Structure 1
Amino acid sequence: MRPFKAVLLTVSVSVLALGTARADVKPHPIFSDNVVLQQGTEVVVWGKADPGESVTVRLERKTENEASGAVSGVTADKDGKWVAKIPAQKAGTGYALTVKGKNTIAFKNVAVGEVWVCSGQSNMEWPVNISEDPAKVKEGAKNPDLRLFTVKQWTAPRPITNQDDLGHFTKWDVSSADTIGGFSAVAYHFGQKLQKELGIPVGLIHSSWGGTPAEAWTSLEALDAEPSLKYYADRARATVKAYDEYDQKKALEAYEKTLAKWKEAADKAKAEGKPVPREPGKPGATPPNLGPHTPGVLYNAMIYPILNFKTKGAIWYQGESNTGRAYEYRTLFPTMIKDWRARYNCDLPFMLVQLAPFGNGNANAVTYAELRDAQLYAAKTLPKTGIAVITDIGNETDIHPKPKGPVGERLALAALGIEYGKKIEYYGPMLKDAKFASGTATLTFTHVGGGLVAKDGDLVGFTLAGKDGKFHPAKATIKDDTVLLSSEQVAEPTAVRYGWVNFAKPTLNLFNKEGLPASPFRTDDAPYTTQPKPK
């Protein structure tokens, strides 16, 4: 057995004022038994204690062949806050993390590996229990090298800086049939594939909220800095001002007036045999929680408190709540990604899910197509940004398609190819170029893998337009690594679209031989239907 090696790091923090009441040392609630710490970078552990209290943080591991460890000694500042930094550790399990001040806290079964944040709206929140074949999924869930942590849904008017306000933080669990049922299905499948491919521990921090827009997950500073998005920050500040200035007496006075009007409307509705309107709620002693659609509030409560926790990357499944503003999403979404990267102080790898096919009340409308295009734009223009295409996983009448396994696995493929440098095909076909000649459009692609294939029959979903800008269905055939398009209704084609509708019928079927679908695209630059008209 190799001798135990300890590294002592001492950090001096000046103490301007010392408290007299004793308080137990308290690590940040992101730390618990089963926690996964990020490999390849210094480990940061932080928390609270008495002002001026000496705190020692020790991370150690003992195996049959070696023992290793690192120690950091720090002093809590005048506010009782302390931050300990430990040198990077090898990936593996069997670590123990001990925090000692006037009391001692020991965390067991600690691992070092890859940590990913999993965020977005309902399709990320969607748990294993109500996804496709949960019983079968649970059969393979036991994995001591996959760990799960959930940030419960919470809003905050400003970034939460006091760890005592993080009652919505849970604890780390080891993946098993008993622990994955209520966990994000997309995140779970992503983590399982990533862990098995890398062969090291993987930790997933799930922080999502159904029905929420991207601006709620973005800091007000980032929204302020982008002129076209500043109105979000202005709106949020007005909402927070009303929240801060809440006066129960005034609220009750307004409630009484509203209640009187409601009674009149209710009596009239009853007399006419119509449905009675909903009775207004009586205001309480404290203001109601800020709604999750308020810009910045989810960033404040569900992202900001984990920024100090070293993290490898993020996966994201969101966009449904922004489909009515798809053109704006071309600015908003990259702004959010760049904001997170600046806050994490690294070029955070970011893997997103392109929206699944969904009718949204009108299968032939294009709001979802435009949002998918905005997502593709982000993936193409931002470095270390990947995309999982799921054109084959949709439901015309259900915004929550049940198959989540392929979604998570395709996110993992993107991460493996883009961030981990695996020599794999991690995308389906992506349009490279379109050339028009002799009444035919010839399309070339990147990520053809072993070759282009038409799944389950002839190619579908392609349309052609001429100089008049009117699109018509096109006949499509595969020739080597190209797709040839023609239409009797378009003598001289000038533009191509593929899958440019909310819900394509029949299902889009251009794939590569690796079984990955092509992303929808267009070659024209006609204004989005969601693009504001010039004033």
Structure 2
Amino acid sequence: MRRVRDADGTRRHPAGAGMTTGLAALAAALMMAAAPARADVKLPAIFGDHMVLQRGQADKIWGWADPGEEITVSVAPGDHQPKSAKAGADGRWEVSLDALETGGPYTITVKGKNTVTLSDVLSGEVWVCSGQSNMQWNVGSANDADLEIRAAKFPGIRLITVPNRGTQEPQKDFQGRWEVCSPETVGGFSAVGYFFGRQIHQTLGVPVGLINDAWGGSACEAWIPREKLAADPRYKPLLDHWAQAEANYPQAKKAHDKWEAAAAKAKAEGKPAPQEPHNPDWDMHGNSRPGNIFNGVLLPTIGYGIRGAIWYQGESNSGRAYQYRHMFPLMIETWRDLWGQGDFSFYWVQLADFMEEKDRPVESGWAELREAQTMTLKLPHTGEAVIIDLGEGRDIHPRNKQDVAKRLARWALAKDYGVPVPCQSPTYRSMKVEGRKAVLTFDHVDGGFRPFDVDELRGFAVAGADRKFVKAQAKVTGDNTIEVWSDSVSDPAAVRYAWADNPVCNVYSQAGLPLTPFRTDDWPGITAGNTH
């Protein structure tokens, strides 16, 4: 437990919360509201017993005290020079610790008028686990949950979960604490996050800290500061939509309050309740309002030392896939700017296969969202785990989180830690037409292609200038080339692969990574004009 002592040595429990760091201009603007003066040194929940600090870098620690109060922060064991700071006019102070050697445990002591002691602190690898429900989905609901929970005896893995809170008011702290990974603590934690962290921990043999802040059903725009969206005219229709909802809130709230009274009366009289109107609180305090999750969930953790982030989201934006092409990169770039750690690694999961299989080529919002995700690979230090083979047609929450996490972990192991393992799925590079056939060339084909289950390559479609796609035959013609054709298309103009909500497809690299869904055309999709 975090221990607090007064200057005379009396032990007591801490109270209150605090405010996160501001590392860039926007973060500073969000944090201008002054905290009231307090007599005690206090730390936000992100700092606590059992935490993991990111190794190999100077990690920031911050908190609050009386304005002008002198604060010292020391680390033991080891030859660590104490760091000192003076609380500002708003009571906030911050220090940067020298990089700690991997391992631990360390004890961190923060002294002002009172003393706060953090025990069992480790130095290792820290990752943020973010997104919507498929990241939030816990170990207790994943495949083989009974076995996974019983085997989760990893004291070198530490877990913390940030509660869901949607608000337009920048939050400085949250209710949560670091826990040691064990059968008693792992069941409610993010399954993808835990399985990812476990792979890193077992491969590298170093401590791993995981920060889970996922929120089921969340929209990408809720994870972005509203000011950033407002600065880009492409998001004006989206923000105008929300401005109207905000203007209508008082009236809608009165209508819902009136319904609640009528429902309570009906229940007391044994009568059926009237139909419930839309609850506007779901909009105002939920997971879709622009900026809501950034302010309520992400902001209190910004500045904590990390190696990178893993992300599993997109389902809630599939109706606006073209917008996601620029919104998702904006989100990543904004996080990086505010965190102040440069272009930290950011790896995401491409949408899985879901919904009904179709026996002919069709347009698909989910396919367009997957395309937008793949386009985001243009950003540095990013990676995409393709899981077009791991979904469940009848369930948007596939239970196989283990393989999802392994594909994410391949990116981290290869790119962040220098482990020589394949990480990137084959991706489309170019097409040339030779007579009635389209010859496609691909990158990242480790060892060549192989079809799964049957020798026939499945999942390809071809169209002529009429833009009418038909099923196509395909054949591997080289380590990184595939030939595609259809007897009904004499002059191919475009090829698509796995272009459906739930495509039937079976092409892998020899390394066992599925071919990334793609299209060679840029014909307008069904989500091209959708803005909110």
Interval of TM-score (by shorter of Structure 1 and Structure 2): 0.7 to 0.9
* Mapped pair 1:35 → 2:51: yes
**C-alpha distance in 2, partners of 1:118/1:88?**
23
**C-alpha distance in 2, partners of 1:259/1:204?**
41
Match of residue 127 from structure 1? 138
Partner amino acid, structure 1, of 2:140: N
1:448-475, Cα deviation, whole Å (9 max, x unpaired) = 1122111111210011112221111111
Match of residue 500 from structure 1? 499
Match of residue 475 from structure 2? 477
TM-score (norm 2): 0.85
* Residue from 36, 40, 54 that aligns with 1:24: 40
**C-alpha distance in 2, partners of 1:522/1:85?**
48
* Residue from 212, 215, 218 that aligns with 1:209: 215
Match of residue 47 from structure 1? 63
Distance of aligned partners of 1:338 and 1:287 in 2 relative to their CA distance in 1, 3 Å threshold: closer
Distance of aligned partners of 1:58 and 1:240 in 2 relative to their CA distance in 1, 3 Å threshold: farther
Q: CA deviation at 1:241?
A: 7.3
* Mapped pair 1:321 → 2:316: yes
1:88-133, Cα deviation, whole Å (9 max, x unpaired) = 2222121111112222221111111121111110000000101111
Distance of aligned partners of 1:120 and 1:257 in 2 relative to their CA distance in 1, 3 Å threshold: closer
Q: CA deviation at 1:29?
A: 1.2
Say if 2:351 and 2:387, in contact at 8 Å, map to a contact too: yes
Q: CA deviation at 1:84?
A: 1.6
Q: Which moved more, 1:328-337 or 1:422-431?
A: 422-431
Say if 1:223 and 1:232, in contact at 8 Å, map to a contact too: no
Q: CA deviation at 1:289?
A: 6.0
* Residue from 384, 399, 402 that aligns with 1:402: 399
**C-alpha distance in 2, partners of 1:60/1:330?**
47
Q: 1:26 aligns to what SS in structure 2?
A: coil
**C-alpha distance in 2, partners of 1:173/1:31?**
12
Distance of aligned partners of 1:86 and 1:276 in 2 relative to their CA distance in 1, 3 Å threshold: closer
Structure 1 alignment gaps of length 5 or more = 1-18, 62-66
Match of residue 486 from structure 1? 485
**C-alpha distance in 2, partners of 1:430/1:252?**
49
Q: CA deviation at 1:262?
A: 9.2
Match of residue 410 from structure 2? 413
Distance of aligned partners of 1:20 and 1:412 in 2 relative to their CA distance in 1, 3 Å threshold: closer
Structure 2 alignment gaps of length 5 or more = 1-34
**C-alpha distance in 2, partners of 1:80/1:486?**
69
**C-alpha distance in 2, partners of 1:59/1:21?**
27
Q: CA deviation at 1:362?
A: 7.4
Q: CA deviation at 1:281?
A: 9.8
Partner amino acid, structure 2, of 1:30: I
* Superposition CA RMSD, Å: 3.1
**C-alpha distance in 1, partners of 2:323/2:282?**
31
**C-alpha distance in 1, partners of 2:36/2:350?**
55
Structure 2 matches for 1:350-365, cutoff 5 A?
350-359=346-355, 365=363
Q: Which moved more, 1:413-422 or 1:459-468?
A: 413-422
**C-alpha distance in 2, partners of 1:237/1:502?**
32
Q: CA deviation at 1:234?
A: 4.7
* Residue from 301, 324, 340 that aligns with 2:296: 301
Match of residue 109 from structure 2? 98
Q: CA deviation at 1:43?
A: 1.6
Say if 2:354 and 2:502, in contact at 8 Å, map to a contact too: yes
* Mapped pair 1:68 → 2:68: no
TM-score (norm 1): 0.84
Partner amino acid, structure 2, of 1:83: E
Match of residue 368 from structure 2? 370
**C-alpha distance in 2, partners of 1:322/1:408?**
22
Partner amino acid, structure 2, of 1:445: F
Say if 1:215 and 1:232, in contact at 8 Å, map to a contact too: no
Q: CA deviation at 1:488?
A: 1.0
1:46-97, Cα deviation, whole Å (9 max, x unpaired) = 1112222222111223xxxxx3323112222222211122122222121111
1:19-64, Cα deviation, whole Å (9 max, x unpaired) = 9986221112101111011122212111112222222111223xxx
Say if 2:48 and 2:118, in contact at 8 Å, map to a contact too: yes
**C-alpha distance in 1, partners of 2:498/2:433?**
19
Distance of aligned partners of 1:255 and 1:182 in 2 relative to their CA distance in 1, 3 Å threshold: closer
**C-alpha distance in 2, partners of 1:260/1:144?**
51
* Mapped pair 1:194 → 2:203: no
Say if 2:283 and 2:289, in contact at 8 Å, map to a contact too: no
Partner amino acid, structure 2, of 1:396: G
Partner amino acid, structure 1, of 2:290: P
Match of residue 286 from structure 2? 291
* Residue from 421, 428, 438 that aligns with 1:441: 438
Q: CA deviation at 1:256?
A: 7.7
* Residue from 331, 337, 340 that aligns with 2:335: 340
Q: Which moved more, 1:233-242 or 1:151-160?
A: 233-242
Q: 2:508 aligns to what SS in structure 1?
A: strand
* Residue from 176, 184, 190 that aligns with 1:170: 176
Instruction: Among all aligned residue pairs of Structure 1 and Structure 2, give the percentage whose two residues are the same amino acid.
Output: 43
Q: 1:69 aligns to what SS in structure 2?
A: coil
Match of residue 220 from structure 1? 226
Match of residue 88 from structure 2? 77
Distance of aligned partners of 1:108 and 1:453 in 2 relative to their CA distance in 1, 3 Å threshold: same
What is the number of residues matched between the two proteins?
Answer: 489
Distance of aligned partners of 1:259 and 1:32 in 2 relative to their CA distance in 1, 3 Å threshold: closer
Q: CA deviation at 1:197?
A: 2.5
* Mapped pair 1:426 → 2:437: no
**C-alpha distance in 2, partners of 1:256/1:426?**
53
